[in-house]
């Protein structure tokens, strides 16, 4: 994931300028450029070596760029789109945005597995020794955990209960254990469903010793990894766990997206807050206080949902793909910067 810079220093001047440089000027400019760009010497050090002022060194280096003596080429791995990444970061005021090329053969597939691989590399950069890493349920976070190969020593805590709807797509507990194994830190999984039949059952489970112990870490989380779902079958775990009547009810409230069992409308406002009382999950205000919240989500079918969640101010960084990024760059009005962490509800 790390970008690399290649600097080619040439002694020839094809140049954009019509004025030719003499051979002595060419040799001196090439030598100064080599010292500055390849050897990392300061302009003051170069000035002392060549017996000139640092202002002349600055002019020579500027001329070297103008006349193509020095060509700076910035390269990132082919699967990363640096231009879209930077534009997306700026549009939403994110701390980090990483855009991955969408698989050509799977344009409509939400959350391609390569997003998890890139997110794993990103977490390797963001997590520091002694941090508390929180993982919310989601296919993308499970893919991310499976791809982890480096993490500093840290505590890993599960932020939501598990998705248990008769499918084989389970693995949040395993994801927490995998991340803890890679880091060598403690694991705090939650052995409980994400959604319960009623608020009383959910409250009783939250008080159970093991679950309560995990909940104690929620206010200590420094880096969180979450997934985003659209409000449609197969794209939202919460949607799939509800009855048809319940789905219709929340749809009538304008729900467009969900994250960690919290529902959002198109403007990023939370709706259907009563659902949270039935869920085993981190609270929205706790997510807002976490310094780094990384969302992993992609695909055209999730693009509008990603926009909604980013507008909530809960997310600080995003790993997505080009098909979602193209939508996000033109979606509605320019959103408020995410890093002010403002609550769109004003609550």
What is the overall mean pLDDT for the chain?
85
pLDDT tens per residue across span 12-26? 444 444 456 667 778
Mean pLDDT within 95-114: 75
What is the total residue count of the chain?
347
End-to-end CA, the chain: 38
Helices vs strands, H then E, count in the chain: 14, 13
- Is the confidence at residue 11, as pLDDT, over 70? no
**Whether the predicted pLDDT of 77 surpasses 60:** no
Residues 6+ apart with CB under 8 A from 122: 1, 96, 98, 294, 317, 319
**What is the pTM for the complete model shown?**
0.75
Within 91-172, strands assigned E span: 96-100, 132-135, 155-158
Residue 195 CB contacts under 8 Å (≥ 6 apart), including other chains: 161, 238, 241, 242, 261, 278, 279, 280
For residue 316, is pLDDT > 80?
Answer: yes
How wide is the angle at C-alpha 139 spanned by C-alphas 324 and 96, nearest 5°?
Answer: 50
Structure tokens, 270: 């939370």
Q: Quick one: pLDDT at residue 338?
A: 63
CA pseudo-torsion sign 70, 74, 75, 79: negative
Q: Please report which confidence band the pLDDT of residue 309 belongs to, taking 50, 70 and 90 as the band edges.
A: very high
- Taking alpha carbons only, the member of 36, 15, 16 closest to residue 26 is 15
Helix, strand, or coil here: 259?
strand
What pLDDT is attached to residue 30?
86
Kind and range of the H or E element at 307? helix 303-311
User: Bigger pLDDT: 233 or 195?
Assistant: 195
**Which single residue is written with the structure tokens 């060549």?**
50
Q: What angle do CA 148, 149, 150 make, to 5 degrees?
A: 100
Summarize pLDDT for 33-67 with one digit per residue, the tens: 889 988 889 999 999 998 999 999 999 998 888 88
CA angle 188–193–195, rounded 5-degree value: 125
Highest mean pLDDT among 165-169, 220-224, 243-247: 220-224
């Amino acid at each position: 994931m790390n970008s690399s810079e290649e600097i080619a220093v040439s002694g020839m001047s094809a140049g954009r300028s019509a004025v030719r440089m003499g051979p002595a000027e060419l040799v001196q400019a090439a030598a100064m450029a080599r010292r500055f760009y390849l050897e990392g010497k300061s302009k003051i050090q170069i000035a002392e070596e060549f017996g000139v002022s640092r202002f002349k060194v600055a002019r020579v280096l500027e001329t070297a760029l103008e006349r193509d003596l020095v060509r700076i080429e910035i390269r990132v791995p082919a699967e990363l789109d640096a231009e879209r990444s930077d534009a997306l970061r700026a549009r939403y005021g994110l701390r980090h945005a990483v855009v991955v090329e969408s698989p050509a053969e799977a344009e409509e597939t939400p959350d391609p597995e390569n997003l998890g691989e890139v997110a794993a590399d990103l977490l390797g950069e963001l997590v520091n020794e002694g941090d508390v890493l929180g993982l919310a349920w989601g296919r993308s976070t499970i893919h991310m955990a499976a791809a982890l190969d480096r993490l500093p020593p840290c505590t890993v805590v599960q932020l939501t209960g598990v998705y248990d709807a008769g499918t084989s797509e389970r693995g949040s507990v395993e994801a927490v254990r995998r991340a803890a194994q890679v880091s060598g830190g403690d694991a705090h999984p939650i052995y409980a469903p994400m959604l319960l039949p009623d608020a009383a059952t959910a409250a009783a489970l939250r008080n159970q010793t093991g679950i309560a112990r995990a909940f104690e870490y929620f206010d200590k989380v420094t880096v969180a990894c979450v997934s985003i779902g659209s409000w449609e079958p197969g794209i939202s775990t919460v949607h799939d766990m509800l009855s048809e009547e319940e789905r219709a009810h929340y749809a009538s409230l304008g729900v467009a997206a969900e994250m960690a069992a919290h529902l959002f409308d198109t403007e990023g406002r939370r709706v259907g807050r009563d659902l949270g009382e039935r869920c085993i999950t981190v609270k929205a205000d706790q997510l807002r206080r976490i310094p780094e919240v990384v969302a992993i989500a992609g695909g055209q079918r999730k693009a509008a949902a990603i926009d909604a969640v980013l507008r909530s101010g809960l997310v600080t960084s995003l790993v997505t793909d080009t098909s979602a990024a193209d939508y996000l760059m033109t979606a509605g009005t320019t959103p408020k910067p995410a890093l002010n962490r403002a609550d769109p509800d004003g609550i």
